[in-house]
Amino acid sequence: MGQPYLRLAAAALILAAFVLGTAAFLVWFERKLLGRMQVRPGPNRVGPGGLLQPVADILKLTVKEDILPEHADRPLFRLAPLMAFVPAFAAFVVLPFGPGLVSADLNIGLLWILAVSTVSVLALIAAGWASNSKYALLGGMRAAAQMISYEVPLVLSLIGVVLAAGSLRLGRIVAAQAHLWFAVPQVLGFIVYLIAATAESNRSPFDLPEGESELVAGFHTEYSGVRFAFFFLAEYSYVFLAAAIATLAFLGGWSGPFLPPVVWFLVKTYAVIFFIIWLRATLPRIRIDQLLSFGWKVLLPLSLVNIFLVGLFRFI
């Protein structure tokens, strides 16, 4: 017992608070931004500028009745929100916020995040299946098709970064960008990553799994109360993670002049999040056939071309 265990407990507690706080803040940030982009004030009643609105929402969801649909597959229905949230939280263990500011600096950091966040597709399809409702099932199937199709270009677009940095350790990847952000030589990979990451976290214009106007609420149609809240927390955690990886792998991580590294990291991450929300406010939802053919016929070949180009330039 002693120091290492103290650090471990502190890291877990701080990150738990950070993940929940960030998810709540992102809900407010997104609603406020969408409101502004649609020329309306957005949430502005609870707390200063509506800042406490997500907190009120979470508290309200906690005291709401937990409804289990009659014909649902009970164990699976109960398990699905956990399956969505646990990997989203576990991915944060390797996320560095600054030099040395990381819970566990694994040498496979990037791979761990990619591997563990894949599990969420199982949660969505389990939720869709277990609900025993046609909207939920359709949403779950769409989620599965979409997430596996965009997983491939997402993972391939990051290979260029791994190749140039020669390591999967996120700290090393940041250090390798000391002179030039990877977003400059690998602009193709960066674009593919941004699009695929938006689709992976089921964000508009790729929000088909929950398409409100056609599927009620998609895979979480039957969920209410706390269970619904955890799907929401997981979704916003993934938005933050996607933006954080974009920052670490392509935008030079925490490096920047004058300000402390943590501030730079958060500024860049929130800039990417702003862009993702901006997309949602601007673009209409696309159809599933467009979605899948775009993923396989455009993004996948482009990500392979990116790997080839990055590899080729290493020899020139």
Partner 1 sequence: MPYFLGYTYVAVFLLFGILIPVGALLANRLLAPRHPDPEKLQAYECGLATPSDNTLPYNVRYYIFALLFVVFDVETIFLYPWAVAFNRLGLFAFVEMIVFIGILVVGLVYAWKKRLLEWL
How far apart CA 12 and CA 306 sit, in angstroms, is 37
CA distances 49 to 33, 41, 43, Å, are: 12, 9, 7
Crossing angle of the two packed helices 187-200 and 134-165, in degrees rounded to 10: 150
Closer Cβ to partner 1, 245 or 277, answer by number: 245
Closer Cβ to partner 1, 75 or 311, answer by number: 311
Residues 195-214 that bind partner 1 (CB under 8 A): none
Choices 32-40, 48-56, 195-203, 305-313 (CB under 8 A): range interacting with partner 1: 305-313
Closer Cβ to partner 1, 83 or 277, answer by number: 83
User: Which of 116, 185, 213 is CA-nearest to residue 155?
Assistant: 116
Question: Quick check: 184 binds partner 1 (CB under 8 A)?
Answer: no
| HSE toward the beta carbon, residue 41, CA cutoff 13 A | 7
Choices 24-32, 158-166, 250-258, 263-271 (CB under 8 A): range interacting with partner 1: 158-166
Crossing angle of the two packed helices 261-282 and 3-37, in degrees rounded to 10: 40
Residues composing the chain: 316
Question: Quick check: 293 binds partner 1 (CB under 8 A)?
Answer: yes
Question: Quick check: 131 binds partner 1 (CB under 8 A)?
Answer: yes
∠121-124-126 over CA atoms, to 5°?
A: 105
Question: Quick check: 92 binds partner 1 (CB under 8 A)?
Answer: yes
Please select the residue that binds partner 1; options are 90, 122, 286, 309, rule is CB under 8 A. Answer: 90
Question: Quick check: 298 binds partner 1 (CB under 8 A)?
Answer: no
Question: Quick check: 178 binds partner 1 (CB under 8 A)?
Answer: no
Question: Quick check: 193 binds partner 1 (CB under 8 A)?
Answer: no
How far apart CA 223 and CA 229 sit, in angstroms, is 9
Question: Quick check: 185 binds partner 1 (CB under 8 A)?
Answer: no
Q: What sign results for the dihedral spanned by CA atoms 268, 274, 276, 278?
A: negative
Question: Quick check: 299 binds partner 1 (CB under 8 A)?
Answer: no
Alpha carbon 259 to its chain's center: 26
Q: Where are the alpha helices (DSSP H) in the chain?
A: 3-37, 53-62, 74-90, 109-130, 134-165, 170-175, 187-200, 212-215, 225-250, 261-282, 288-294, 300-315
Closer Cβ to partner 1, 229 or 277, answer by number: 229
Question: Quick check: 104 binds partner 1 (CB under 8 A)?
Answer: yes
Closer Cβ to partner 1, 155 or 194, answer by number: 155
Please select the residue that binds partner 1; options are 26, 123, 155, 273, rule is CB under 8 A. Answer: 155
Question: Quick check: 46 binds partner 1 (CB under 8 A)?
Answer: no
Question: Quick check: 12 binds partner 1 (CB under 8 A)?
Answer: yes
How far apart CA 163 and CA 175 sit, in angstroms, is 14
Closer Cβ to partner 1, 67 or 271, answer by number: 67
Q: Tell me the per-residue interface mask from 50 to 89 with partner 1, x by CB under 8 A, - otherwise.
A: ------------xxxxxxxxxxx--------xx--xxxxx
Total residues interacting with partner 1, rule: CB under 8 A: 82
Closer Cβ to partner 1, 28 or 85, answer by number: 85
Question: Quick check: 98 binds partner 1 (CB under 8 A)?
Answer: no
Question: Quick check: 101 binds partner 1 (CB under 8 A)?
Answer: no
Alpha carbon 297 to its chain's center: 24
Residues 226-285 that bind partner 1 (CB under 8 A): 226-227, 229-230
Give the pair of three-digit tokens for residue 28: 């407010």
Q: Which residues, 6 or more positions from 55, have their beta carbon under 8 angstroms from its beta carbon? A: 24, 46, 47
Closer Cβ to partner 1, 197 or 300, answer by number: 300
